[in-house]
Structure 1
Amino acid sequence: MSTNLGAFGNDVWWIIGIKTLLVFVILVLLTLFNIWWERRVVARMQHRIGPNVHGPFGLLQSLADGVKLAFKEDLIPKAADKVVFVLAPVIVVVPAFVTFSVIPFGPEVTLFGERTPLQLTDMPVAVLFVMAIASIGIYGIVLGGWSSGSTYSLLGGLRSSAQMISYEVAMGLALVAVFMYAGSMSTSEIVAAQDDLWFGAALIPSFIIYTIAMVGETNRAPFDLPEAEGELVGGFHTEYSSLKFALFFLAEYINMATVSALATTLFLGGWHAPFWIDEVWAGANEGYWPVLWFFGKVLFFIFMFIWLRGSLPRLRYDQFMAFGWKRLIPISLGWIVIVATFRVARNEGAFDGGNQTFWLVTAGLVVAAFLLSLLIPEKKADEAPAAVNVPRPGGYPVPQMPAGGAVRGAAAPLVFRTDVHTSDAGVRNG
């Protein structure tokens, strides 16, 4: 069952209000659940118990933490630009909610006697709308880091802006192949185009690139470099506390749900039943059942976020940026050329749809194998052992200089003398 754009914009005002309220409530509840789920899964990976006191299985732990944050003292640094400091969390969290307005949760249903699609709205450029609104959140992070009056916050904000912009480029290029294959940028029409074959199978390189880029876009581990505690204390939100910090926290988890919902919509058939259950069950894609399929796929991606956080160490910043600009973006451009070539060949009658899908999937597997090979660390050649400094009589050796760090014409390595006494009797100068 497909939904065309003519079905949107005709709802009565109270149906629009109900759907808006439902989207808001679902995102808030999903955030509370995801925080609890992440703690439980990571605890299981690390052989810990995790939250288990507040509510059954600890389900109310996230709510307790939210109440605790709300009652904490709200501090504003003296050096902060107070207006921008307060507005920055709002600029981050509002786009996080708005982007869900074009995500399809299901087909047309009857809601309180009114026939309406399970989607707040749609437009011919819905995916570009999501990308544009999501990019606004970058301003909130940068302004939050700048307005704090802290060097660590400023560095975290600058890191975040460079990281999110660079990986938005790779993400956008990964979606170009989807637009060409589906022939539309409308989310509901892209879902309808995947009735027979999901784009995650037909466009494997785009799926892999988007999956990598969405982790970098949301600043999640192992790409959580703007919040690297080892170097930046807490990154752009170091100086934030109470509800303003809670808004940054809320925006991060909603953005996780947003990119997961977009991946589900563009690559995993959206609300269509998985594993083609609809072939044996005629009602699998009717009524409210598609909502279950949709959120099942979304939670699959969120589980991937959690799994990565519990498994991989944080990358080095230069490695992360080089991978985005020197690997993902060139491969995305090359893959777009391949997909465009297949589409032109089909339009010219070179082969039918079945042959096109076969050869496109084959080419996609080759490109995907090359892309995944770049993730395998290179094995360094065995290096000759460095010569050990032999200390002079009465001296101690010093560590070797880094490779390539020797200066032309440099003198022999320094050693600390032990034959010079200080003013304190019996104490030697080390």
Structure 2
Amino acid sequence: MDRAALLADDPIWLILIKVVILLLLGPIMTTFMIIWERKVVARMQQRPGPNRVGPNGWLQSVADAIKLPFKEQIIPTTADRKVYWLAPLVSTIPAIVAFSVIPFGPEVSIFGERTVLQLVDLPVGVLVILACSSMGVYGIVLAGWSSGSPYPLLGGLRSAAQVISYEIAMGLSFVAVIVFAGSLSTGDIVDAQHSIWYALALAPSFVIYLISMVGETNRAPFDLPEAESELVGGFHTEYSSMKFALFFLAEYTNMVIVSAFATTLFLGGYMAPWPISLINDNYFNTGWWPLLWFLGKTLVLLFIYIWLRGTLPRLRYDQFMRIGWKVLVPINLVWIVVVIAVNVIVDEGLSTGQWLLGSGIVLVVLIGLSLLLPERQVPDEDQVPVTGGGYPVPPLDLQIPGKPKRKVRPGRRDRARVGAGAPDQEKETD
């Protein structure tokens, strides 16, 4: 029986169990990720991390989760209260919904009922996850606008530009996977990677997705919507208590979602990694073992998030936008053309001469387009003096004229010194 048929036969009690587990997965992973991130970054920076609450400080996130709901709620008088309350929910709910289409494992038995470790297997599962990750940004935009404060508004505007830039790059990185797998179903994509993971076969798409998912989730070095050095706290500056906790929950849940999605698309999903798969493929890819492999791959990607935050400085906004529009999107478009061309060659069985002719035509077209591009205008040194990053600054030899010096007549004490035989000299002062 295939995956869709098994899920269709799930009884109501089994569906409710899956729903409850998926609802708890976001808060549990958020609690774990916060304390894990604090400890890992503390180890990287050679400083003590949380070590007071619980054994070795592992209950610090639990203490924070208990503390936040009891903190005072401060709402600005200029805030639009309805949208102000709605924004955290708009960010949190889509992030949790996205778990429903991710396959965590193959067919298993739960209390004697055969099922699949997945809530639903939609034929457009990839688009569902992409839509859920995009919806969360609307909560950030609404939070920035409804706060009635300039810093949250700037953070919301940055987030709107950010999602447009990196959502396009992320969506384009799926195209090559869909072409190779021949399906938009997440379960079918995992099954298509039985022979080789798409992280190896489609390495450019994998790298572009890794960069895009960091920008999509507003994490360092792309955390510009909440840059504390520029915007105090960004879009959540005016939020406190439980509403602030919901934004934290949405951010870390989105991190788990995009990492689990990367595992599904590029790392073979729940299939055993290479050394283990050589031992006994039928044993380690059946039962509850695949759930362990899926969580392990997801945690590796989450560790990359922490690694980037602990080592890289925040980018400037112009650098951030330039990477999205001038690097990721063009490379992705060229890579999609290459993937489709290779796919056609394999399907049609073209000869070597036909393949070389097609490659030559594409090369000539690319060279012709490059010749048509306008040359970059480099400003003369006389027009723009020594610059910092292309911005005109005052010349280095600029001298600010000082006040003219004036002569001061000697006072009584100076005249007495002159009378006593001291040399007569005039005193100059500014």
Distance 1:255 1:133 in 2: 9
Matched residue, 1:405: 392
What SS does structure 2 have at the residue aligned with 1:8? helix
Q: Is 1:329 aligned to 2:315, yes or no?
A: no
Letter in 2 for 1:166: S
Aligned partners of 1:3 and 1:192 also within 8 Å: no
Distance 1:73 1:63 in 2: 19
Matched residue, 1:83: 82
Matched residue, 1:270: 269
Matched residue, 1:343: 343
* 1:192-207 aligned within 5 A: 192-207=191-206
Distance 2:154 2:142 in 1: 12
Distance 1:100 1:412 in 2: 62
CA gap 1:260/1:412 in 2 versus in 1, 3 angstroms:
closer
Tell me the matched-pair count: 377
- Taking structure 1 as the reference length, the TM-score comes to 0.83
Q: CA deviation at 1:83?
A: 0.4
Aligned partners of 1:3 and 1:107 also within 8 Å: no
Aligned partners of 1:222 and 1:308 also within 8 Å: yes
Letter in 2 for 1:319: Q
* 1:135-146 aligned within 5 A: 135-146=134-145
Distance 2:183 2:273 in 1: 22
Aligned partners of 1:4 and 1:189 also within 8 Å: no
Matched residue, 1:416: 402
Matched residue, 2:300: 300
What SS does structure 2 have at the residue aligned with 1:314? coil
Distance 2:341 2:242 in 1: 51
What SS does structure 2 have at the residue aligned with 1:417? coil
Q: Is 1:178 aligned to 2:177, yes or no?
A: yes
Distance 1:141 1:404 in 2: 32
Q: CA deviation at 1:413?
A: 4.2
Matched residue, 2:365: none
For structure 2, which runs of at least 5 residues remain unmatched after alignment?
Answer: 356-380, 408-426
Matched residue, 2:211: 212
Single out whichever of 341-350 and 325-334 deviates more from structure 2: 341-350
Distance 2:241 2:175 in 1: 40
What SS does structure 2 have at the residue aligned with 1:236? helix
Letter in 2 for 1:278: S
Letter in 2 for 1:303: F
Aligned partners of 2:158 and 2:224 also within 8 Å: yes
Distance 1:347 1:7 in 2: 32
Aligned partners of 2:107 and 2:117 also within 8 Å: yes
Single out whichever of 205-214 and 136-145 deviates more from structure 2: 136-145
Q: CA deviation at 1:276?
A: 4.7
What SS does structure 2 have at the residue aligned with 1:272? coil
Q: CA deviation at 1:5?
A: 2.9
CA gap 1:413/1:276 in 2 versus in 1, 3 angstroms:
same
Aligned partners of 2:3 and 2:121 also within 8 Å: no
State the Cα deviation string for residues 142-186 of structure 1 (Å, max 9, x = none).
000000000000000010111122101000000100000111110
- Taking structure 2 as the reference length, the TM-score comes to 0.83
Distance 1:53 1:42 in 2: 17
* 1:137-286 aligned within 5 A: 137-281=136-280, 282-286=282-286
Q: Is 1:31 aligned to 2:17, yes or no?
A: no
Letter in 2 for 1:246: A
CA gap 1:234/1:412 in 2 versus in 1, 3 angstroms:
closer
Distance 1:245 1:314 in 2: 22
Q: CA deviation at 1:404?
A: 6.9
Q: CA deviation at 1:29?
A: 1.2
Aligned partners of 2:155 and 2:235 also within 8 Å: yes
Q: Percent identity?
A: 57
Single out whichever of 47-56 and 113-122 deviates more from structure 2: 47-56
Q: CA deviation at 1:405?
A: 3.2
CA radius of gyration, larger in? 2
State the Cα deviation string for residues 237-282 of structure 1 (Å, max 9, x = none).
0000000000000100000000000000000000001125233123
Q: CA deviation at 1:196?
A: 1.0
CA gap 1:3/1:415 in 2 versus in 1, 3 angstroms:
farther
What SS does structure 2 have at the residue aligned with 1:416? coil
Aligned partners of 2:88 and 2:243 also within 8 Å: yes
Distance 1:331 1:121 in 2: 34
Matched residue, 1:318: 318
Aligned partners of 2:270 and 2:293 also within 8 Å: yes
Distance 1:55 1:24 in 2: 25
Matched residue, 2:111: 112
Distance 2:394 2:190 in 1: 62
Q: CA deviation at 1:23?
A: 1.3
Runs ≥4 in structure 1, deviation > 2 angstroms?
2-10, 400-408, 411-421
What SS does structure 2 have at the residue aligned with 1:66? helix
CA gap 1:412/1:248 in 2 versus in 1, 3 angstroms:
closer
Aligned partners of 2:3 and 2:116 also within 8 Å: no
Distance 2:393 2:258 in 1: 48
Distance 2:202 2:233 in 1: 37
Letter in 1 for 2:295: F
Letter in 2 for 1:340: I
Letter in 2 for 1:312: L
What SS does structure 1 have at the residue aligned with 2:284? coil
For structure 1, which runs of at least 5 residues remain unmatched after alignment?
Answer: 357-382, 388-399
Q: CA deviation at 1:7?
A: 2.8
What SS does structure 1 have at the residue aligned with 2:89? helix
Aligned partners of 1:80 and 1:147 also within 8 Å: yes
Q: CA deviation at 1:3?
A: 5.2
Matched residue, 2:47: 48
Matched residue, 2:4: 5
